Structures are given as C-alpha cells and as structure tokens.
Structure 1
C-alpha cells in the first residue's frame, strides 16, 4: 500500500494565501508568508543544532509566537514535537523526555530554570533564532507519520505518550470544519495552552484552513471579552471555568461576528448554559481527548438545553458506540484517533480492539444517538452490585452553596464491598448530617456518601485534574478504622 502524502502544509499555505493574516499576538501580526519565513529561520537554527528528521524534541514553552514558529519548524525538519505541560515539575518532565527517548528540549526564557534542572538531554533556547544558512524544507508530509506526542495525565500509573500523526491532525481539522463550517474571515482565539491538544489543534487548523489565530499568552477574561465584543474573533475554545469567568466579567454583548464558543472539559452546569442562551452566546459542548486529536463528539447550540448534559453526536468522519446494553465504556473510531501509545504495546493491546478505541470513560447513548458521558471507568465505585459514578455525587455536592469543590472515592465496606466517601472544600464548617440530608434529596440512597471529610484542598495534577486515587490513599492512611 502506498503511503499517503500531502504537500508540506505551511509551504502550501504560504503559496496559496501569502498575504492573509496568519497570527496576531498582542499588537503584532504575521501573514502566512511572514510566518513561513520565521519558521524557516527557526528550522535552520534547530537543524544547525543537530535536530534531524525522526528526532523527538521536547517543547517547554508558553503561548508565544516563537512557540508556534518552533512547532512549525519541527514539521519542516520532520522531527516530532513532544509538547510538555509547563505546570509539571522538572522531574515529571524529565521522565517524559526519557520515556520518549527525546534528543533535545526546546525552551523559552520563562522556563529556562526548569529546563536547566533536566540533565542528560541537550537544551536549546527558542527565545531568538539567529540568521543562519537558508533552510530547504521537506516537500511533503506523510499522513501516517508522527507529528506530535502528548502525554496523557494518567489517572492510573505513569502517563502515556499519545502519538498524533499528520493524518490525525488533518482529519480532526476536517471533521471540525464539516461541523462548524468554514468562513474565509474566521479568526480563532487561542487562550488554551499550546501544549494541550485543544491549543495545538488550533495551530494545525490555522495552516490547513488558512485561518487567522489570535494568540493569548494567558487566559484573561476581561481582555478576551473585549476581543469578542469588538468583533475581532469568530471562534474560541474554552473550558467551563473559563466560560464562567468570562460571564462574570461580561458587561455588554458579543459581536454578531462571533459565531462559536467551543466548550470542552466536561458537561456545563445548566445555569451557565441558560446564562449563555440569554446573552445569545452560541455554545457548542464537546467531548474529546488527547487520543482523538481534539473533539470527536460535539453538541450543536440548538440542543444545548433540550439535551442538557450531552456531549452531542460524533463528527462526520467518526463513530461512537457503547460497550454494553444501556451504559458502558465509550468506544470511538475515526481517522483522527491515535494509532497508539508510544512504547506501550500492552496498553495498545488493551485500548485498541476490532477497530475501536476503548476510551476508559463510561457513557450512554440516548434513542437519538446523543452521547452522555457519565464518568471515568477507573473511578467507578461498585457498591452492593450497584454502579456509582463519583462525578455525579461531586456535581450534587458542589451545587450546595457552601461547598467550593468536592472529590469522591470508593472506600472499603464490610457490608457493601465499597461505599462512597466525599472529601470537600467549603467556605464554612459543615456537618455531615447537613450534607447527607442535602444529598438524600438529590441522589438515590446508595449514592449518598457514607463519609464526609472537610479538607483544605483536593489533590490535583498539573492539568488540574482531580486525583481520586490520592483521595483513596488519604482514606487508607488517615481515616480507615
């Protein structure tokens, strides 16, 4: 079978629409022709530093134009970008670099100290690329070839490196365009990290669509609202916490030019969606993961309230099914789904079966084919033969006025095998009786936590994901009788 080739994306884009704006950052902007020139300059410097086709290169950098030049430069060389979560410790980053067999770590000035703490891997600053010899980029991209690697946060054990090919990124962009439509004047605001698939995929869409990206170094609700009110952007990717902050800061209305708020990171609470509807904000809820190169299921705004809590239906080239009668593990397939995890044959054997990727998430499909994501399989509590999803209890607890955040885990019980224990952060002392009474109104009896423990903070990883296994360990160490 012949390998599928495409013309080098950035070179092709700079040829097709050289004068179109590609990137805006603060008060500066670059056309695609300028972006290509900056990328070739970066590729020349990186190549002169010894980076070759097939090398894995860690990228430890903020949302800055230099980071985007670096991402594209690695593609010109044929090296693979290992996007590093800058919130991780130097030790965690070093583990990922060694696990991937990375040849270099590329860092910006803000992360210089962290990069310096990593030994045994050559480091290169991307702050300012010197002028070097003219660089000849490769002519084609092979769709089956790895383009990027991102380590999943790993709810159990060590994180795993997800291989994302050029074909994965291309079909992800294609599926999104078939869903949202493509306008020649689109501008996508990127305030999510470039080291996450949500940010990286915007950079890929930019060059594939010929679309302007408005890059923000950090999330700033006030400044982002201004961009949306002024009509500077048409699309933005957010998670619930970002949207909530934006609504708190919002005084006017968003421009009619703004057409899509792409919401990931779990279902949004009803009051938030109702607020968006009152303000005519077009929210598209999504379900996706690093392994699917961004969204794979999306809910159109017209269903935001009638299909409350649903992530929607699969994008055009994708399929979703449930491994079970009514609810069970969510299985996905499509050309945007990863080929597998780097150096993890056992995990690949478990995750990929008969053409379907096993997500590890629990969900159900309604009669019309809308997906509802219920919880992570690894966190499922089985109590007296009943399945209990911690996220459902956490959602109820956080709707109690004094509870700021909550985490639920299963703890051993002689009678039931396992029962839920709730750890929570609150703005005043609360009694277990008060919380149990509140939960009893909203949850089946077997779902009401047997224990309520007030704590100062909940354990989270660098991606701000709740670590329920650490709650289980805390219970064993401190509260088990």
Structure 2
C-alpha cells in the first residue's frame, strides 16, 4: 500500500509552492483543496471510484487540478493526445472504452461520445462528499497512455501507482532532490514526460513552472532568472534553446542543475554546443511502457560519457538481446507496465519478465547504455545495417543544417537506400552536403538524395516521426 500521494504531500508541506503559471501560484494545500472540490463535483455527476475517464485538454493549471481531482476520486485516467486526428481519437476512445470523456472545451472536437463533459459542465455543479481513500494499492491503474504507434496501431499502456512511484524514486536517487528544486514543464501533460513531472512534484514536494507549450525564448528567460533548476526536452527543443543562447551570446547560470533529454539519440554536435553554453545535459532513455525514465546519465559522467543514455536507475535492469554488439534493448523493473488494455490486452508486454522495447543499442564495458535507433527504422542496404540516427547526427554537424531526418527507400539493387530530409539554417546546395557527408560516413551510408523542407514531422513531444517521412518520398 502507498499513501494517497497528494493528501500526504499537502500534510507534509502544505505551504510549499506546487505549481506556477504566469503570475499565479498554488501551494500543495491549495492544489488539494481545488482537486477535492473538483472530485466532489464529479461525484455529483454520478462518477464513482473505479470509473475510467478519458481526458482531452491542453496543458493548463485547470488540467492539473482535473487530473488530481480524478485521482482523488479513484478513477483511471485515459490521457488523450490533443494533436491526434478525429479518426485516431475515435479509435482510442473505442479501444479504451472509458465511462466518461472530459474535455476542456466542448467546441474543441466534435467527437461522437455520449458521456461527454466539459470542465465548465463540472464547475457549475454542487459538491457531493465521498469517502476519500487515504491508502492506495500499488497495483492501482493511475493512467492509461497510448504508444505513438510507430509499428501498427497504438497500444493502450496501463501505468500503475507502483510504476509511477518507483520511476520517480529511481530518478530522485540519480538526480538528487533539493528543497529549492523547480521543474520547468513544457512537455504536454498527456504525455508520460509531462505527467511524470507532476508525479515527481507530489513525491518530492517540488514546484512545477508550467508552460502551455514549448517556447525556446521563454524557457531561456525563465532559466536565466534563476527560478528553474531542471527541465525535460527532446533533441530538437534542446537545439532551439542552444540556438537562442548562441544568438545572444549567453550561458546558463549555475542555479540550473540538469536538462534531461529523451525521445531518442541526441546528436553529439548538440551536446558539444550545450557544454559551451553551460547546459548540464543528461541524456535519458525511457518509454510509455516504463512510466518515463529507465536510464539516465549521472551528472558526473555527462562529459566523460558524452552520447550515452547512462546506467539503469536504481530499481531498473537493462540488457541487450542478441549475439552482436548492437541488439534490442530489454528492460525489467517495478516501473515497467503491468499490461495493455483493449485490443492489445491479451498481449503480454513481457517475455520471461523482460520488456522487449524494439529499440536498438549497446552497453559498453563500464555498463553505460548507448541507444542507437528504433529497430523498425533500421535500413538494410546490400546486407549492411544502416541506422538513420547515425546519418542524422552526421548531417547536423554541418553549420548550415538545423535538423535532419533520414528514412529508407526501396531500391531494386540494394533493397533499401537512405534518403535525407533537411531543415536548413542557411542556404547550402545538395552537392555541398554530399561532399561534406563523404568525409563523415562510409559510402554505403550516404543518402542517395536530399530533400530540403521547412519542418520535419514530429509528435506532441517533438519526437521525430520517421514513418511520416516515407510518405514524402
């Protein structure tokens, strides 16, 4: 059993700041008060403990209160991705079969769902008290989040209370916890990278500075002010922060402790530029099925093991499956999902206790994990394995290249060949890039063609969607 997380935190540090948004602040006591009020109004609507509630809303203080309110009532939360199409949302609603759908605004989406409520529909209700559970079972499902669906239909992942607590605890053992810690959260709250920050906030007694969406200049300004100690980003948003600092010839203050970078391998060029700007980058590796992080590079290894995603957190184990140096990354630990729901419910996520991730990587002689790429993105050309991330990392070394994405194209002679999609920061010719790449990689890894684009396809957390690149060829 675990304590009711928010109740316990509000009892321990009621007056400590839990949330900031623009000019407003909420203490943990205030968050509990508002969440309890929302839960009692939900109860008035006939929503009882154990019900499954799907939520479709933008990141906001209101959403934070709604999430905590639903948890106080003992409901399972299906976190819907705002950036999905109606067709994708309808699939996830049918697959998860929630009892209710809560939206921040009725006007946002015309989704065919009978028990649909807006925040305002609930705000106007009177309060109906219910018996609050002060102890929660560790097996209880807190959230259900859908995978990004890189191979086939997305799967609904159960994330238990134990998954969230053990992940946050392992992260705390690695990063340390200080009373003045404050996490800048610009990741969407419906994504595990955003929701996990809320869980850490309650467990650590830590403030969260919430942004509705990522804005590089606003993030830099806030960090330079000294009010923020930590932030989570992906490679592309890290690069945008670095660019802002470079353009203004600024460096981060020592009050900023760590920039956690997940979502896939980070180009070494980005990491080297970050060091010049005093950005303490800690690469991390995790997924929806592991309730966020599994490995994170410790701060003392950030330069010595540049490019590594670190070692497993305290309660996690990682191994490489396969006879070659590079193989599939497998994970075990109490932070790993208890299972899937809906169409994938009969499919166990574990084989002999291990989660097979579909990601490729290797572990060096000191036990540090290096993530290479997604297995599904692997390009096999003339019998040779080509990892798109390796080509992308080489491309962004060129000063004219801001971002790069690589995918495999079918070829009659070689089976597949790599094709590059490039976002530029300044004009450059395809011939110049080809000449540069010949100095970086072996001939069989060279892109056969280059496409100059305005933007690369990304999901809500700015992770590159290589499956969309196939459609651009």
TM-score of the two chains, using structure 1 as the length reference: 0.89
- Please state if 1:98 is matched with 2:97: no
- Please state if 1:137 is matched with 2:140: no
What is the CA-CA distance between 1:54 and the residue it aligns to?
A: 2.5
Cα distance between partner residues in 1 of 2:428 and 2:257 = 44
Partner of 2:31: 35
- Secondary structure of the 1:422 match is strand
The equivalences for 1:33-112 within 5 A come to 33-109=29-105, 112=106
Tell me the alpha carbon deviations over residues 80-111 of structure 1, each in whole angstroms, 9 at most, x when there is no partner: 111111111233222211110012221213xx
What is the CA-CA distance between 1:331 and the residue it aligns to?
A: 0.5
Structure 1 residues 262 and 100 mapped into 2: Cα distance closer, same or farther (>3 Å)? same
**Structure 2: which 5+ residue stretches go unaligned?**
none
- Secondary structure of the 1:113 match is coil
Tell me the alpha carbon deviations over residues 301-323 of structure 1, each in whole angstroms, 9 at most, x when there is no partner: 33333322211111111011111
Structure 1 residues 256 and 436 mapped into 2: Cα distance closer, same or farther (>3 Å)? closer
- Secondary structure of the 2:231 match is strand
Structure 1 residues 226 and 77 mapped into 2: Cα distance closer, same or farther (>3 Å)? same
Whether the aligned pair in 1 keeps the contact of 2:50 and 2:75 (CA below 8 Å) is yes
Whether the aligned pair in 1 keeps the contact of 2:423 and 2:454 (CA below 8 Å) is yes
Partner of 1:150: 145
- Paired residues in the alignment total 466
Whether the aligned pair in 2 keeps the contact of 1:230 and 1:254 (CA below 8 Å) is no
Structure 1 residues 409 and 248 mapped into 2: Cα distance closer, same or farther (>3 Å)? closer
- Secondary structure of the 2:261 match is strand
Work out which of the residue numbers 230, 233, 236 in structure 1 matches 2:228.
233
What is the CA-CA distance between 1:20 and the residue it aligns to?
A: 1.9
The equivalences for 1:379-394 within 5 A come to 379-394=377-392
Whether the aligned pair in 1 keeps the contact of 2:188 and 2:461 (CA below 8 Å) is no
Partner of 1:26: 22
Mean Cα displacement is larger for which, 142-151 or 437-446? 437-446
Work out which of the residue numbers 326, 330, 355 in structure 1 matches 2:353.
355
Cα distance between partner residues in 2 of 1:460 and 1:283 = 22
Cα distance between partner residues in 2 of 1:231 and 1:463 = 25
Partner of 2:203: 208
Cα distance between partner residues in 1 of 2:423 and 2:218 = 30
Partner of 2:265: 267
Tell me the alpha carbon deviations over residues 227-272 of structure 1, each in whole angstroms, 9 at most, x when there is no partner: 3223222222222333333333345554443322222223333343
- Secondary structure of the 2:59 match is coil
Whether the aligned pair in 2 keeps the contact of 1:231 and 1:254 (CA below 8 Å) is no
The equivalences for 1:291-330 within 5 A come to 291-325=289-323, 326-330=325-329
Partner of 1:478: none
- Secondary structure of the 1:163 match is strand
Structure 1 residues 467 and 33 mapped into 2: Cα distance closer, same or farther (>3 Å)? closer
What is the CA-CA distance between 1:19 and the residue it aligns to?
A: 2.0
What is the CA-CA distance between 1:155 and the residue it aligns to?
A: 0.7
**Structure 1: which 5+ residue stretches go unaligned?**
476-481
Whether the aligned pair in 1 keeps the contact of 2:14 and 2:29 (CA below 8 Å) is yes
Mean Cα displacement is larger for which, 331-340 or 411-420? 411-420
Runs ≥4 residues deviating over 6 A: none
Whether the aligned pair in 2 keeps the contact of 1:41 and 1:135 (CA below 8 Å) is no
Whether the aligned pair in 1 keeps the contact of 2:419 and 2:450 (CA below 8 Å) is yes
Partner of 2:118: 125
Cα distance between partner residues in 1 of 2:455 and 2:14 = 50
What is the root-mean-square deviation in Å for CA atoms of aligned residues? Answer: 2.4
Cα distance between partner residues in 2 of 1:286 and 1:190 = 16
What is the CA-CA distance between 1:71 and the residue it aligns to?
A: 0.8
The equivalences for 1:387-426 within 5 A come to 387-425=385-423
Whether the aligned pair in 1 keeps the contact of 2:234 and 2:462 (CA below 8 Å) is no
Whether the aligned pair in 1 keeps the contact of 2:264 and 2:373 (CA below 8 Å) is no
Whether the aligned pair in 2 keeps the contact of 1:270 and 1:305 (CA below 8 Å) is no
What is the CA-CA distance between 1:360 and the residue it aligns to?
A: 0.4
What is the CA-CA distance between 1:420 and the residue it aligns to?
A: 2.4
What is the CA-CA distance between 1:372 and the residue it aligns to?
A: 0.9
Structure 1 residues 393 and 243 mapped into 2: Cα distance closer, same or farther (>3 Å)? closer
Whether the aligned pair in 2 keeps the contact of 1:406 and 1:422 (CA below 8 Å) is yes
The equivalences for 1:356-375 within 5 A come to 356-375=354-373
Whether the aligned pair in 1 keeps the contact of 2:339 and 2:345 (CA below 8 Å) is no
- Please state if 1:448 is matched with 2:450: no
What is the CA-CA distance between 1:393 and the residue it aligns to?
A: 1.7
Mean Cα displacement is larger for which, 180-189 or 163-172? 180-189
What is the CA-CA distance between 1:173 and the residue it aligns to?
A: 0.8
Mean Cα displacement is larger for which, 324-333 or 422-431? 422-431
Structure 1 residues 295 and 88 mapped into 2: Cα distance closer, same or farther (>3 Å)? same
Cα distance between partner residues in 2 of 1:129 and 1:136 = 20
Whether the aligned pair in 1 keeps the contact of 2:236 and 2:403 (CA below 8 Å) is no
